[in-house]
């Protein structure tokens, strides 16, 4: 349910675009306001990296990826393990697998499709990402709604329905604002407004370009919106990880391509991911502590057991310490290494 806006949505686009022309964030994947769009490869790469990840976390990864693979064709030719290692630490590893699948499909097709439907047919590209790429890279008049935009729209129209139930209503309302001219700049302006002005706490309404048409500000409820349904506590899973090492080598394995941490380099584990496996080799294992890690849908407590390298492992393979790069491990396994070494 929403309150009526004190002004029609018509002035929103020109007000916001005028603000964006002066205050747009300087981001490496973004063209300056009013200039030709950035290479679709860079727009797509940034949008995949930014899924459930902050701008601050993505910036360095984006620079490294585009320096190493400056075109979609270069990325398509890269090896799976090479890309997974470069992605390590960014999380949500299905994104990296889909990244390669899409790069190879696009390279084979001779370029990116320029419509939302065409983009959404590619691996790892859903409704939001396809709309964002279509608007930003191809200037299609698509409505782009991320968490920042949901917050702006909920306040602009004083939507009382809590999230996530309000998502459909907020998307429909956002659609009434999307202009035919400069839709890519408008989409990025909405995101910037939510990230820098219309923030979750203490929104800076006094300097907001949309202060006049904002229904929540008029009603004095801007800091309370959007409302959210109370979250249930994350379940806890327990498991064991084994780290076998000495001064010369360390035991690692490549996780299955599908599932949790799919395709990444890891230490052998059991118990937390649906497996029930014995230790990878016969050793005198010493429990050295516990690491905790929060995934989207559960919290993990992983007991770390360390043993001396030796013998033929039942799974995994020995890697020379001089060739072992902890930076190629996902975040969870970096925590394990920091404790075990």
Model pLDDT for residues 238-293, shown as the tens digit of each residue: 999 999 998 899 999 999 888 889 888 999 999 999 999 999 999 899 999 999 99
**Domains in the chain: boundaries:** 12-224, 236-340
Is residue 9 very low, low, confident or very high in pLDDT (cuts 50, 70, 90)? very low
Across 101-110, 257-266, 314-323, least confident range: 257-266
More confident residue, 27 or 296: 27
Beta-ladder partners of 305: 242, 287
Distance CA 323, CA 249 (A): 9
Distance CA 268, CA 278 (A): 10
Model pLDDT for residues 169-224, shown as the tens digit of each residue: 999 999 999 999 999 999 999 999 999 999 999 999 999 999 999 999 999 999 99
Per CATH, domain 236-340 is 3.90.79.10? yes
Q: Residue range 133-156: average pLDDT?
A: 96
Model pLDDT for residues 11-47, shown as the tens digit of each residue: 899 999 999 999 999 999 999 998 999 999 999 999 9
The pLDDT assigned to 8 comes to 41
The pLDDT assigned to 64 comes to 96
The CATH architecture that domain 12-224 belongs to is Orthogonal Bundle (1.10)
- Residues whose CB is less than 8 angstroms from the CB of residue 50 and which lie 6 or more positions away in sequence, other chains included: 58
Is residue 341 very low, low, confident or very high in pLDDT (cuts 50, 70, 90)? confident
Burial pattern 144-165, b for ≥16 Cβ within 10 A else e, equals bbbebbbbbbbbbbbbbbebee
Model pLDDT for residues 211-240, shown as the tens digit of each residue: 999 999 999 999 999 999 988 889 999 999
Distance CA 133, CA 48 (A): 10
- Calculate what percentage of the chain has a pLDDT beyond 90: 83
**Nearest 5 degrees, angle CA 328-CA 333-CA 338?**
95
Burial pattern 178-208, b for ≥16 Cβ within 10 A else e, equals beeebbbbbbbbbbbbbbebbeeeebebeeb
Distance CA 247, CA 170 (A): 57
Q: Average model confidence (pLDDT) for the chain?
A: 93
Q: Residue range 294-323: average pLDDT?
A: 92
Q: DSSP secondary-structure letter at 37?
A: P
Is residue 4 very low, low, confident or very high in pLDDT (cuts 50, 70, 90)? very low
Q: Residue range 328-341: average pLDDT?
A: 92
pTM of the model: 0.82
- Residues whose CB is less than 8 angstroms from the CB of residue 280 and which lie 6 or more positions away in sequence, other chains included: 242, 244, 251, 253, 268, 313, 314, 315, 316
The pLDDT assigned to 1 comes to 54
Model pLDDT for residues 68-82, shown as the tens digit of each residue: 999 999 999 999 999
Write out the catalytic residue numbers.
Answer: 47
């Amino acid at each position: 349910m929403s309150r009526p806006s004190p002004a029609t949505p018509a002035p929103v686009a020109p007000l916001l675009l005028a603000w964006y022309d002066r205050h747009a964030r300087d981001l490496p994947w973004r063209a300056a306001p009013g200039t030709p769009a950035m290479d679709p490869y860079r727009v797509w790469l940034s949008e995949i990296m930014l899924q459930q990840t902050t701008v601050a976390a993505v910036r360095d990864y984006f620079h490294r990826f585009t320096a190493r693979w400056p075109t979609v064709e270069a990325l398509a030719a890269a090896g799976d393990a090479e890309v997974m290692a470069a992605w390590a630490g960014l999380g949500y590893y299905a994104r990296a697998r889909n990244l390669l699948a899409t790069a190879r499909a696009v390279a084979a097709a001779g370029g990116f499709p320029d419509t939302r439907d065409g983009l959404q047919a590619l691996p790892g590209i859903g409704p939001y990402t396809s709309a964002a790429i279509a608007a930003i890279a191809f200037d299609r008049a698509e409505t782009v709604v991320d968490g920042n935009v949901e917050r702006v729209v909920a306040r602009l129209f004083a939507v009382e329905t809590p999230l996530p139930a309000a998502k459909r209503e907020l998307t429909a309302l956002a659609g009434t604002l999307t202009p035919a001219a400069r839709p890519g700049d408008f989409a990025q302006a909405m995101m910037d407004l939510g990230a820098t002005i219309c923030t979750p706490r203490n929104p800076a309404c006094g300097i907001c370009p949309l202060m006049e048409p904002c229904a929540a500000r008029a009603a004095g409820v801007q800091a309370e919106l959007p409302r959210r349904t109370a979250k249930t506590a994350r379940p806890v899973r327990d498991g064991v990880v084994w780290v076998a090492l000495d001064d010369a080598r360390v035991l690692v394995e490549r996780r299955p391509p599908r599932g949790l941490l799919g395709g990444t380099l890891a230490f052998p584990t059991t118990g937390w991911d649906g497996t029930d496996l014995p230790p990878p080799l016969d050793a005198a294992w010493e429990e050295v502590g516990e690491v905790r890690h929060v995934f989207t849908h559960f919290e993990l407590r992983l007991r770390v057991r360390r043993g001396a390298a030796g013998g033929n492992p039942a799974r995994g393979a020995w890697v020379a310490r001089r060739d072992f790069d902890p930076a190629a491990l996902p975040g969870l396994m970096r925590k394990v290494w920091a404790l075990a070494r």
